[in-house]
Structure 1
Amino acid sequence: MHDINDLELRGIPAMFVASDQFVDAAAKQSASLGFPAVARVFTPHPIQDRTDDEMLTYADVAFDQILDTLTL
């Protein structure tokens, strides 16, 4: 989050991607760092035991969300 905040302060669009297991943790960390509106995209959890095809599907869905997040 520190890196994302630093990039945003420099005028470079930034965001992070994590699995949805980390929604609450991300909200708490970004708020504690004074950057509560950090851009984020969450994928389904867990990811470590997904097949390649499942990961491609996750990536396809996340890609559009990431583009939308960075270009709004």
Structure 2
Amino acid sequence: MIDPLLAELAHSDWPKLVWYEPHSDGLMKSPNVPAQLGPNRIIYNNKVKDYMDQHNVSVLRFFNLTRPV
């Protein structure tokens, strides 16, 4: 889904894309969707980070900052 955008951005200097990774689970996060809980989110964040690095997209990594909250 994001590949067409990345392909378009590869040929231009502007606009830039910055990816913001999902933060850690909070008190309001429902445990009824286990696929979105901590361990799976860490795997997702790491895979997306690797993918974005391949396309020279900066990633704002705030997961660890929100982990104990």
Structure 2 length normalisation: TM-score? 0.35
- Which of the two has greater helix per residue? 1
Question: Which protein has greater RCO, CA pairs closer than 8 Å, 6+ apart?
Answer: 2
